[in-house]
Amino acid sequence: MRNILLFILVLIGIFYVRRALRRTGKTGDRAADETRDAPADAPREELVIEQMVPCAHCGLHVPESEGLRGSGGFFCSEEHRRLGSRP
């Protein structure tokens, strides 16, 4: 019985040591990855420049993708498209 407990304690000890070793190894890898990724990330961070278009009804500038196109021009919302353009 005593031998089994000792065996379990040894297993737990091995588990903790391995985990600690793996953790230190991982941080080293992460640091290497960051330095490797840094130049690769730079071109990937492309700025999506979206054009701001004024609403034909209220004049509010909204990104082109968020607005709506209507017969009278560009509108900020469905309601303003329904109301139409205003001078």
CA distance linking residue 49 with residue 38, whole number of Å: 23
Nearer to Zn ion, 18 or 82 (CB): 82
User: Cβ of residue 83: shortest distance to Zn ion, in angstroms?
Assistant: 8
41 vs 78, beta carbon nearer Zn ion: 78
Binding window for Zn ion (CB under 5 A); candidates: 12-20, 25-33, 40-48, 74-82: 74-82
Among 53, 57, 67, 81, binds Zn ion (CB under 5 A): 57
Can residue 58 be called a binding residue for Zn ion (CB under 5 A)? yes
- 8 Å CB contact between 64 and 53: yes
Taking CB under 5 A as the binding criterion, the range among 11-19, 26-34, 39-47, 51-59 that sits at the site for Zn ion is: 51-59
| 75 CB burial (10 A radius; 0-12, 13-18, 19+) | buried
Q: Using CA atoms, how far apart are residues 55 and 32, in angstroms rounded to an integer?
A: 49
